[in-house]
Amino acid sequence: MIPFEYLRAGDPAEAVAAVAGRPGAAFLGGGTNLVDHMKLGVARPDLLVDVSRLPLDRVEETGSGLRIGAAVRNSDLAAHPLVRERYPVLARALLSGASGQLRNAATTAGNLLQRTRCPYFQDVTTPCNKRDPGSGCSAIGGYTRYHAILGASEHCVAVHPSDMAVAMLALDAVVIVLGPAGERALPLADLHRLPGDTPQRDTVLEHGELITAVELPDLPFARRSAYRKVRDRVSYSFALVSVAACLDLDGGAVRDVRLALGGVAHKPWRAALAEEALLGATVTEEAFRRAAEAELAAARPLHGNEFKVPMVRNAIVATLRDLAEEGR
Amino acid sequence: MDARITLRVDGRDRSLTVDTRTTLLDALRDHLSVTSPKKGCDHGQCGSCTVLLDGRRVVSCLTFAVAHDGADVTTAEGLVQEGEPHPVQRAFLEEDGFQCGFCTPGQICSAVGMLEEVKAGHPSRVTDDLTGPVTLDDEEIRERLSGNLCRCGAYVNIVAALREEADS
């Protein structure tokens, strides 16, 4: 690990100025991903600006939803009474991620900005376009069990590892970002990017921009929502695939639906095609399956992760079926 | 780059100078000779370095000591009060909740933190009713302690030890 300076920021503007003014600087939240990457040589900041103690640790009602401070710990967010009551999909997603110890440290913004768990990205002895642009992709033709089936490129097939972000995407979350030029609001759907030919960039944020909050709009039917995570080990492991869903029924038909997928792409994946197919559809497993297949028509699995296509389809069907039965 | 920090460790104020690169785990073990938190994987995957940081369980290998100036740290050693083992420590002894013992201090700190979370009504992934009370059954214990690995495989007796705690 290279030597670094440490600065505990007094307020968000000071933190932004400190990082924006120095190319080698990085924000430090809970550290559960960044500290590990510094040990591994994947990240080499020469200044850490600690934002974990900024007064961004509250969950507040806004009148039109919920505002979650960037420094709210994953465990506190999952346990928050309003999250449990109004957005069970988010509580469930958070509780399915990592371990009790890690959720006590990890922050909301840090969870969104965690980097891929692609084993080649984390191993500095192997080529990786995300870590070392232009060096090649070791996963293509290599071990691909955990890799993307949607939206990948010839340069990178990594997936975004977050559970929380998948639920927030289904809930139409908006990210509040503070930069040197001021504040902006960004739909979470526009935060993460597909790899294209610049896989080193996970998000659209510029150096020095700081996420200060995540806003969830009011979505009454999210009270009927669920998160299903499929993985090799039942607890404390990353998703092979995951599904976040909110379902609103009108008798035997779908009045409204939100559907997002994890473990399938370089970003949390909003299943817009499946949502479109479901709107107005009669509630049957056949309709759920057709909707899933509409989303998966664009899937391009790799040699070694073909299983993900039927796994996603089945997970979508099972999640929607369970939600529909819950409402009967 | 060095930093001067103070930590309250197991009830004692300790001042030390650390390189900013020093993790909380290394500060405890190598600077303060508090060796009950163990270095297993050093990457946040095994849980053997678990301590209570300002009352909450965390892995001490994934955080820098410099970020915790003024913090209160309790290790498994500090759970002993006036020579008496903590009830969770006693339960591990009674139920034989370990074999080699390397993961045990982390298991115990994690369990103590977990019991506080249950007391506060925090649900887990396996809690059926997110807004209802939590019953700490075996499935809940296993889920809530999944961040602590035991390569001897003492899990069955660890669950038994905590079931005893949950019932008391």
Q: d(Cα A248, Cα A254) in Å, to the nearest integer?
A: 6
Cα A290 from chain centroid (whole Å): 25
B-chain CB neighbours of A35 within 8 Å are 23, 62-64
Q: Please, are residues A73 and A105 in contact by the beta-carbon 8 Å criterion?
A: yes
Reply yes or no on whether the pLDDT at A118 is more than 90. yes
Task: Kindly list the residues from chain B whose CB atom is less than 8 angstroms away from the CB atom of residue A75.
Answer: 56, 117, 122
Kindly report the number of other CB atoms within 10 A of residue B144's CB atom: 28
Tell me the C-alpha distance between B35 and B60, whole Å: 12
Residue B168 to chain A, least CA–CA distance (Å):
22
Nearest to B124 among A5, A28, A95 (CB): A95
Is residue A50 within 8 angstroms of chain B, CB to CB?
yes
Give the pLDDT confidence score for residue A327 in this predicted structure. 66
Q: Which domains does chain B have, with CATH numbers?
A: 2-78 (3.10.20.30), 87-167 (1.10.150.120)
Report DSSP state, residue A116.
P
Q: Is A76 helix (H, G, I), strand (E, B) or coil?
A: helix
Contact status, residue A171 vs residue A217, Cβ threshold 8 Å: yes
- pLDDT over 90 percentage in chain A: 99
**Residue B165 pLDDT:** 81
* Mean residue pLDDT across chain A: 97
Q: What is the mean pLDDT of residues A79-95?
A: 98
B interface residues, A as partner, C-beta within 8 Å: 1, 3, 19-21, 23, 42-44, 47, 50, 56-59, 62-64, 66-67, 110, 113-114, 117, 120-125, 130-131, 142-148
Distance from CA of A178 to the nearest CA of B (A): 23
**In sequence order, what are the beta bridge partners of A226?**
A245
Half-sphere exposure of B109 (CA within 13 A, CB side): 31
Mean pLDDT of chain B: 97
Q: Which domains occur in chain A, in start order?
A: 5-50 (3.30.43.10), 221-326 (3.30.390.50)
Considering CB atoms only, which of A28, A79, A235 is closest to B146?
A235
Query: Do B137 and B115 meet the contact criterion of CB atoms below 8 Å apart?
Result: no
Evaluate whether A228 touches A91 at the Cβ level (below 8 Å).
no
Q: Between chain A and chain B, how many beta carbons pairs sit less than 8 Å apart? A: 109
| Segment A166-219, tens digit of pLDDT | 999 999 999 999 999 999 999 999 999 999 999 999 999 999 999 999 999 999
Task: Look at residue B164 in the predicted model and tell me its pLDDT.
Answer: 82
CB contact under 8 A, A235 and B114: no
The answer to whether A131 and A124 have CB atoms below 8 angstroms apart is yes
User: In whole angstroms, what is the distance from residue A161 CA to residue A148 CA?
Assistant: 11
Rounded distance between C-alpha atoms, residue B123 and residue B138, angstroms = 14
Res. A117: pLDDT tops 90? yes
Q: Does A307 touch chain B (CB under 8 A)?
A: no
Spatial distance between the Cα atoms of A103 and A110, rounded to a whole number of angstroms: 11
pLDDT in tens, A3-41: 999 999 999 999 999 999 999 999 999 999 999 999 999
User: What pLDDT is stored for residue A328 in this prediction?
Assistant: 63
pLDDT in tens, A307-327: 999 999 999 999 999 999 986
Rounded-to-integer distance, Cα A98 and Cα B166, Å:
23
For A235-273, the pLDDT digits (tens) are 999 999 999 999 999 999 999 999 999 999 999 999 999
Mean pLDDT, rounded, for B27-48: 98
Place of tokens 């009370």: B133
| 8 A C-beta contact, residue A309 and residue A263 | no
